[in-house]
A and B are shown apart, each in its own frame.
Chain A
């Protein structure tokens, strides 16, 4: 089973850029037909799809975040990353990375809490 682990700063100042990395083990970000996704969960709330990147490089973003999001893949490190710019308190959430096929999110990381505060 593929294992995923999120990493990055737990505290980001308003207006700055949130940057997270997902390290993948037990699988490869450059093989197969997998989608590598970022999903977030504000405290006490539901799940929100941020975006995903296909093994071959194409990306899909949530329109509500599209102007601020970049997801990229680093095949040499077997990682993929999230960059979310111009953050506000509304971006405070538990951020998950996940692997899946076209329709589901099959394997998830444990999540990393990001707080936006000055």
Chain B
């Protein structure tokens, strides 16, 4: 059974940093691309970033490019999202999601974690 478990969310001040983690199990982690998607009541679902199975390719939404960094440790079956220079508009529920492909070039999200809440506020 595929399981994805996010952690690391919380309250952070504007301009601060936070690192999210996603522990994966139930599949061969290194064979699949992984993505981060966030959700707010006002803006709905927003794709944030995708990383290929080998971590050779990464993709970012323009809204986070230069501030967020996606990475993965295939030896630990864990996906990360390093978030710097956080803004109020980054407040959202963040989900990690598995892609059925290795490359992630055409992101389809076949399994999702339960989400972790990030709140950016002073």
Q: Does A pair with B?
A: no
